[in-house]
Amino acid sequence: MCNIWSLCSAGILNPYVDPVRRRLLCRPNQMLSLYLILLVTSISCSSGANPSSDAVTRAKLPFGTVDQPKANQTLKGVVGVTGWALSESGIASVTIYVDRTFLAAAISGLPRPDVASSHPGISGNAAAGWGAEVDTSKLTAGWHELTVQVRDRNGGTRELGSMPVLVEQ
């Protein structure tokens, strides 16, 4: 496992503590001029403490897919935007944007037995579905970029998909 202390002991980083800001600063070993700043609230290099998973959060980004619409699909009237998303910490929100502007918040927690069987080790897998109805009559006719973004309960955010769609009136 590679962590800050293994990089220090290997001579790659030179750590020092800023006691005022309670930050552990790590300077690359003389070859580079960049400084890496890692926020550490209760660890000091001089204490000999070796941080474990208690001090370093090993967060994972949420993941999933957009089932509908597909790229280059023509949309008219009210259309469904659907898919699924999972995260070890749980899904907080799924948001739909058109041309980088908020359009709708999807309903999450919908049944997805296919996701449950393909990702059995992640809690919430049976209710990984999300969906929203979007009224395209509020959009101008022509090509638009539809983007779906998911956020988990730890704040991790990922774009599930971004695709061109053609809106007809």
Domain segments of the chain as ranges: 4-47, 63-167
Residue-level pLDDT at 58: 67
Reply yes or no on domain 63-167 having CATH 2.60.40.650: yes
Q: Compute the mean pLDDT over every residue in the chain, rounded to the nearest whole number.
A: 80
CA distances from 62 to 8, 59, 108, 153 (A): 31, 9, 13, 10
Res. 135: pLDDT tops 70:
yes
Q: How far apart are the first and last CA of the chain?
A: 55
Side-chain half-sphere of 66: how many Cα atoms within 13 Å?
25
> What φ, ψ does residue 159 adopt, rounded to 5°?
-85, 120
Contact by Cβ (8 Å): 55, 22: no
Between 2-11, 14-23, 88-97, the lowest mean confidence (pLDDT) is in 2-11
Q: Between these two residues, 52 and 92, which has the higher pLDDT value?
A: 92
Res. 93: pLDDT tops 90:
yes
Residue-level pLDDT at 38: 36
45 vs 22: CA distance, rounded Å: 11
Residue-level pLDDT at 59: 73
Segment 101-129, tens digit of pLDDT: 999 999 999 999 999 999 999 999 999 99
Segment 29-65, tens digit of pLDDT: 444 333 333 333 333 444 444 444 443 456 799 999 9
